[in-house]
Amino acid sequence: MRHLLGLLFLLTIAFTSCEGRKTQRQALSESIEEFKKTVHFETNVYIPETYLEQDVDTLMSNGFRVKIKTYADMSNAVRFSKIKDTINYQTYYRNFKFDISVTKDDKVIYNESFNKKKVNKAFNYNGNLVSGSDLHHFDRLAVLKSIQVNDDPSYTNMVLIDIMYAIPETDRYAIHRMFIDNRGKSNIVQVEVK
């Protein structure tokens, strides 16, 4: 009987001393999860970081002179967010404006300025395109990647300018070619979309 009372006493002590406390490891991991839910850090990155401007002046063998000026639109950017380890990374890709001026025989035959809104209209980037379309979201997310004079010698009476827009952080892009004839009339054709 004495052994039975001793066993009963030990079981009573064992059950009453276990109050369901957490181990230090469990407490630390729950504390970290709670911290992640309540504390948010945000970091903002702008690409390009500051105002950027570039001028290109090209004199072609067919007598045309092409001036292209590109410059960062400091009030218009595309934002991409990514959360990693409680830090919200906000990356802003600035849109670019560009001016194209073409002269022939010292006479300006074409002079236009383009911003994102005008590009959307000229390149048919619009919000009505269905998901899965090649140009879906180009109206909101695409930024100017490159613009350059195409020096194809077979075009003697016109200027060709290749313009590439791309969606940052993806492999999606669209290349358009602008044709400007010797009277200053322009036409834009989609060349490639990926």
Residues 137-165 have pLDDT tens digits of 888 899 999 999 998 888 889 999 999 99
Tell me, yes or no, whether 7 lies in a domain.
Answer: no
Tell me, yes or no, whether 17 lies in a domain.
Answer: no
What pLDDT band is residue 14 in, cutting at 50, 70 and 90? Answer: low
Tell me, yes or no, whether 76 lies in a domain.
Answer: yes
Does 127 have pLDDT greater than 70? Answer: yes
Average pLDDT score, the chain: 87
Q: Residue 7: its pLDDT value, please? A: 67
What pLDDT band is residue 128 in, cutting at 50, 70 and 90? Answer: confident
Q: Residue 176: its pLDDT value, please? A: 95
Tell me, yes or no, whether 30 lies in a domain.
Answer: no
Closest CA to 124 of 135, 113, 133, 115: 135
Q: Residue 159: its pLDDT value, please? A: 94
Tell me, yes or no, whether 68 lies in a domain.
Answer: yes
Q: Residue 35: its pLDDT value, please? A: 73
The predicted model scores a pTM of 0.76
Question: For residue 67, what is the domain's CATH number?
Answer: 2.40.128.510
Does 63 have pLDDT greater than 60? Answer: yes
Tell me, yes or no, whether 6 lies in a domain.
Answer: no
What pLDDT band is residue 19 in, cutting at 50, 70 and 90? Answer: low
Tell me, yes or no, whether 22 lies in a domain.
Answer: no
Closest CA to 109 of 165, 163, 62, 177: 62
Tell me, yes or no, whether 8 lies in a domain.
Answer: no
> Domain of 77?
36-193
Split into its structural domains, the chain has a count of 1
